[in-house]
Amino acid sequence: MATKLLLAFAICRLILTVGLTLKPKELLHLGFDGQLSVDPADVDYASKDFGLLTRVEPLAVFHPSSSLDVARLVKAAYWSDQGFTVSARGHGHSINGQAQTPNGVVVQMSGNGIGPRPRVRAGDMYVDLWGGELWIDVLRSTLEYGLAPKSWTDYLHLSVGGTLSNAGISGQAFNHGPQISNVHELDVVTGKGELVTCSEEQNSELFHAVLGGLGQFGIITRARISLEPAPQRMRWIRVLYSNFSAFTRDQEYLISLNGSQKFDYVEGFVIVDEGLINNWRSSFFSPRNPVKISSLGSNNGGVLYCLEVTKNYYESTAASVDQEVEVLLKKLNFIPASVFTTDLPYVDFLDRVHKSELKLRSKGLWEVPHPWLNLFVPKSKIDDFNRGVFKGILGNKRTSGPILIYPMNKNKWDERSSAVMPDEEVFYLVAFLRSALDNGEESQSLEYLSNQNLQILRFCDDDGIKVKQYLPHYATQEEWREHLGSKWDRFHKMKAKYDPRHILASGQQIFTPTFLTSSNTASW
């Protein structure tokens, strides 16, 4: 009875705020098994995200228990008179309010007791997942069968629907492609409230539009993900470079290899100060014997580049790992004295960032603003980017977070998806994953880092480096049109077909909800 009363109160608030053609009694009879909440704690939680750069309070928060729950809510929004928006939220790891909405309901897809549990079909090598399932829980479920998804993100405490709405990338993407290249089937709730099953063979237009579609065409409530036999352990290796050309040449060589004689994970990052080099090393050895950049023979203005690779293996194949790794490393041109290596269980490597999270939380350094900037940079311009950004804008200034850089093969990405990438066969992810700290250091303040991001984008524009933002954020449709480029026309057409009232994912600021009048669209 209490739940029903709370639901009635939430619906009445929506009606008073935005207006509905449906009567409250009719909404109560929609058959929600989940909970529509206006509890201040729920609303506050949904109004924030990992970026802590934007705060927008929704009218209510919906905790669904099934795909049908989500469909009923969206259908009510679609048929409402004045309308209200619906934004799906997973683990809330967005940076610029992409999962927020000021005019409607946030659907909290992740959380205890929300949605069905993973269903592994070991014989068919796939797993069916609720859209709000976190990848760490996916891993735990599939490992019970000795299986695992092929492609990952570096941080596993993200939702399935969230990463598939972007792309889902990490050091395995060169080999297996992004996560969106490893999906067999989806259940999607469109902006009309229709629950549609889609795949390559069935409703393929919607299938490809939703993958990398930023939540614009539907809410992913189920995903069928491809699996492979899970390795038991990993050899984890890091080596350093002072020469950027040698570093990128080796990375590009490694992602060109085929068959079993290759590394299974290839990433890298930039080290711009002494503090980071020892933070980099501490994952492997005790920091009691600090490494000095000068001791590694760097004449690169205090900038070093780290190549990070892994080799998967089973206990039964452990004897051959040393030789396989040695053969691969012999072909690379890193600083000889800089090899650091360790062996660890497969799960520990995949979930390594969570361990860092726990340390940062204990110091109060996790829930701080994160002015992240993620860019796809064409291979032909990566040297110019190094010159202008790593050595120029950043120089050897202190930084407050990792700067990732690694290449990917475009032929592992499906051009039919909505994901946007540079028009070259090889392109780099460059990710500035920094935290803004209120510690008195100007170079770590939110204002400084935000301005530096703008400076980086301005340099790329002035230098003709046609970067594409990953996890993009733009304030105007004109900027979105430029970002999507040749995909804009299809993107616009799919929006009109599957979400004609622009109900979904309004926090992305791509389309204005049709029920908003010209007098109150200034924030869009």
Q: Is the pLDDT of residue 282 over 70?
A: no
pLDDT in tens, 87-113: 999 999 999 999 999 889 999 999 887
Assess whether 267 carries a catalytic annotation: yes
Q: Taking residues 416-423, what's their average pLDDT?
A: 97
Q: Is the pLDDT of residue 16 over 70?
A: no
What is the predicted pLDDT for the residue at 440? 85
Q: Is the pLDDT of residue 235 over 50?
A: yes
Q: Taking residues 177-205, what's their average pLDDT?
A: 98
- pLDDT confidence band for 13 (50 / 70 / 90): low
Q: Is the pLDDT of residue 5 over 90?
A: no
pLDDT in tens, 472-499: 999 999 999 999 999 999 999 999 999 9
What is the predicted pLDDT for the residue at 287? 46
What is the predicted pLDDT for the residue at 158? 98
Q: Which residue has the tokens 């014997």?
A: 289
What is the predicted pLDDT for the residue at 299? 56
Q: Kindly name the residue from 91, 93, 370, 473 that is annotated as catalytic.
A: 93
CA distance 192 to 502: 10
What is the predicted pLDDT for the residue at 35? 86
- pLDDT confidence band for 50 (50 / 70 / 90): very high
pLDDT in tens, 493-524: 999 999 999 999 999 999 999 987 544 443 33
pLDDT in tens, 293-351: 555 655 556 789 999 999 999 999 999 999 999 999 999 999 999 999 999 999 999 99
Q: Is the pLDDT of residue 288 over 70?
A: no
Helical ranges in 257-317 per DSSP H? 274-281
What is the predicted pLDDT for the residue at 524? 38
CA distance 423 to 466: 9
Assess whether 200 carries a catalytic annotation: no
- pLDDT confidence band for 221 (50 / 70 / 90): very high
Q: Taking residues 444-455, what's their average pLDDT?
A: 96
Q: Taking residues 403-421, what's their average pLDDT?
A: 97
What is the predicted pLDDT for the residue at 520? 45
From first CA to last CA, the distance across the chain in angstroms is 39
Q: Are 502 and 429 in contact (CB under 8 A)?
A: no
What is the predicted pLDDT for the residue at 477? 95
What is the predicted pLDDT for the residue at 523? 38
What is the predicted pLDDT for the residue at 284? 55
CA distance 291 to 275: 10
Q: At what angle do helices 477-484 and 488-498 cross, to 10 degrees?
A: 120
CA distance 111 to 191: 23
What are the backbone dihedrals phi and psi of residue 47, each rounded to the nearest 5 degrees, phi first? Answer: -85, -5
Q: Are 369 and 435 in contact (CB under 8 A)?
A: yes
Name, in order, each residue with C-beta under 8 angstroms of 99's C-beta and a sequence gap of 6 or more: 49, 87, 88, 89, 90, 92, 106, 162, 215, 505, 507
Of 416 and 439, which is predicted with more confidence?
416
pLDDT in tens, 365-398: 899 999 999 999 999 999 999 999 999 999 777 7
What is the predicted pLDDT for the residue at 302? 74
Q: Kindly name the residue from 57, 154, 252, 424 that is annotated as catalytic.
A: 154
What is the predicted pLDDT for the residue at 279? 58
CA distance 130 to 160: 8
What are the backbone dihedrals phi and psi of residue 320, each rounded to the nearest 5 degrees, phi first? Answer: -95, -10
Q: Are 140 and 149 in contact (CB under 8 A)?
A: no
Of 20 and 235, which is predicted with more confidence?
235
Q: What percent of the chain has pLDDT over 70?
A: 87
What is the predicted pLDDT for the residue at 107? 97
Q: Is the pLDDT of residue 431 over 90?
A: yes
Q: What percent of the chain has pLDDT over 90?
A: 78
CA distance 457 to 404: 17
Which pTM value belongs to this model? 0.92
What is the predicted pLDDT for the residue at 10? 60
The mean predicted confidence, pLDDT, of the chain is 90
Q: Taking residues 119-125, what's their average pLDDT?
A: 97
Of 140 and 518, which is predicted with more confidence?
140
Reading the block at residue 389, the tokens are 């950004």
Q: Kindly name the residue from 267, 308, 351, 499 that is annotated as catalytic.
A: 267
Handedness of CA 203, 209, 215, 217 (dihedral sign): negative
What is the predicted pLDDT for the residue at 286? 46
Q: Are 216 and 508 in contact (CB under 8 A)?
A: yes
Domains of the chain: 119-229 (3.30.465.10), 233-469 (3.40.462.10)
